[in-house]
Amino acid sequence: PDGRLASASRDNTIKIWKFVDGISVKTLKGHTDSLWYLSLLPDGRLASASRDNTIKIWKFVDGISVKTLKGHTDSLWYLSLLPDGRL
């Protein structure tokens, strides 16, 4: 909880905001279609689910996508961490 907020959009991006003053401080790009869901991982990275059929893992502090998970044949609407902390 450092005062930042992440938002997912139909414009294919994730924005990181300074919650207190409402300023967008970073835009994460890499998906090719709308984003539907975000999840903060226990290690501080961010996972995003998209209509482009992929999940991306982000080091959102740097704005870098570090992994893309592929395998679905249609849009992803939701993702959830497993009880042991795995995605």
Average pLDDT over residues 16-21: 91
Asked if 38 contacts 16 with a C-beta cutoff of 8 angstroms, the reply is no
CA-CA distance, 54 to 32, in Å (whole number)? 9
- pLDDT tens-digit series, residues 58-70: 997 888 999 999 9
Pair 26, 60: CB distance under 8 Å: yes
The pLDDT, as a whole number, for residue 86 is: 63
Q: What share of the chain has pLDDT > 70, as a percent? A: 95
State the number of CA atoms in the 13 A half-sphere of 57 facing the CB. Answer: 14
User: Residue 25 corresponds to which tokens in the numbers above?
Assistant: 């401080």
